[in-house]
Amino acid sequence: MIPRPASWRSRPATVLVVLFMAACLPEAPSGGQTPTAAPAAGTAAPSEDLTPVAGPTAAEGQTPQPGDRPVSVLACGDILLSRTPGKRAEQYGYRYLFEGMRELVSSADVAFANLETPASWLGQPYPGKPENVTFRADPATLFGLSWAGFDVLSLANNHINDYGPRALTETLDYLDLLGLGRVGAGRDLAEARRPVIVERDGVRLAFLAYAEPAWSVVEARGAMEARVLTRVETRLHGAPPPPASPRDPDDARSSMVGVAPAVIADMVADVRRALATLDPDYLFVSVHWGDEHQNLPRAFQKAFGRAAVDAGATAVFGHHPHVLQSVERYGDGLIAYSLGNFVFDMKADATYLTAALRLNLAGGALRSAEIIPVRIVRGSYAPEPAGPADAMTILNGIRRWSRALGTELSIESGRGFIRFP
C-alpha cells in the first residue's frame, strides 16, 4: 500500500467518502443523460453511440425534432482546486468555492470548464518544476464541481501531469465515478483524443480538447504504436532482455497516459470523424494555448481556432492565458480565445476580472453568444457575479480586443452579446 503524503494524513477517510458518495449519486444528472465517451478513433462503436436519439414522430406543426430544440452551453475558464483554493475548500467545505456561481452554472443545459489540476493522493512532483506552480488537489474537492452543475471538464492543460501518470489516472477514475464528462486526457492517445457526448432531451453535443505543447505538458502515447514498435524490434533483434529494475511509476515515460496535443491536422481529423460517425447536433473544441497575461491571440491560436470552425465545430473555448482575450465571430462559429480564470489565486489584478460564456443554440446552429462578467474574490478565491463597475471594465476590454478581429460586441444591461442571423 502506498502511503499518503504526510501533510494529508489528517484526512484519512476522504477517498472512502469520495467512493461512497459517488456510488450514491443518481445515474443521470438532472435534465439529461450522463455524459458518455465516444468510441476511440479507429475502433468499432456500439450502435447506440452512432445513432442520434430520435424524438417521437410528430405531425407537421407539432413537436419539433430534437435538433431544433433550444439548448444552452455555458463555458467557464481555468479552475484550480489546490493551493489556496484547496485550503478554502478544506476549511469551509467543497461547496464553498462555487456557492456564488452555482445558480448560473446549473441553469445551463450543459456547463463546461477547464480543470487545471489532478486530484489524487498519488504521484511525485514534475521534475524541476517550481513547487508553487506544481498542483495536486484533494479528490474530495471534485464534489464542488458536481454540486455546482458542471457536466464536462477539459483535462488538456499544462498542469494535469504535475504529479505524473498515476495521479492523472486516478483523476480520470474519480471523474468517472462522479459521472462528470472529461476530454483531452486519457490512458493512451486514443482515449485522450476521444470526444465525449452529452445528450439533453435528444439533442447531442460533442466535446473535444487539446493542449498546445508547453513546459510539463506530457502528450499521451498510442497503444498500437507501442505494440507495433515492440514487434518490429523483436523481429529484428530478438526478444529484449528483462529490465534490471521496475520503472519509476511516476516517470512520464513509464506510461502512455497524457493529454491530446494541439496539432491542427489531428484536430481537424477528430472533428470530421466525430461529425461523420456520431452525428452530434453541435460540436465544441477546447484548447489550452497562447501566452499568459496577454489579451490578444497569437497566430497559432487564430489558425487552430479557425481550422476547427472550418471543420465543423460550433465554437472553440480557449484557456491558459489566465486573462480574457478577444472573442471572434468566424463564419457561423465563435472562437473565445481565452475565458480567463474561474477559480484561481494569482497575483495580477487582471486575473480576477473574468467572464462566463453562454451559447444559445437551436436548429443545429449558434443563435447568440452572451458574455457574463464574473469577479473572483481575493481571499476566498471564489467567483461571483461582477458588480456594475467591474462588469463594464470586463465588457469594454473584450469589445476592444474583439474589434481587432472584426467582431462587434454589443453591451446591454451589464452583459455582452454577439448575435447570429
**Per-residue pLDDT tens digits for 392-402:** 999 999 999 99
Spatial distance between the Cα atoms of 36 and 75, rounded to a whole number of angstroms = 19
What is the per-residue pLDDT for 181?
Answer: 98
279 CB-contact burial (10 Å; exposed 0-12 / middle 13-18 / buried 19+): middle
* Amino acid of residue 101: M
What is the per-residue pLDDT for 6?
Answer: 38
DSSP bridge partners of 113: 153
Spatial distance between the Cα atoms of 15 and 357, rounded to a whole number of angstroms = 33
Spatial distance between the Cα atoms of 224 and 306, rounded to a whole number of angstroms = 31
In this structure, are residues 398 and 337 in contact, taking their beta carbons and an 8 Å threshold? no
**Regions of the chain with pLDDT less than 70:** 1-67, 223-247, 252-254
Spatial distance between the Cα atoms of 113 and 68, rounded to a whole number of angstroms = 25
Whole-angstrom CA distances from 19 to 177, 179, 227, 286, 397 are 7, 12, 34, 29, 43
Fold (CATH) for 70-240+250-419: Purple Acid Phosphatase; chain A, domain 2 (3.60.21)
> What pTM does this model have?
0.82
Q: Can you give the residue ranges of every domain in the chain?
A: 70-240+250-419
What is the per-residue pLDDT for 2?
Answer: 35
What is the per-residue pLDDT for 63?
Answer: 57
What is the per-residue pLDDT for 254?
Answer: 64
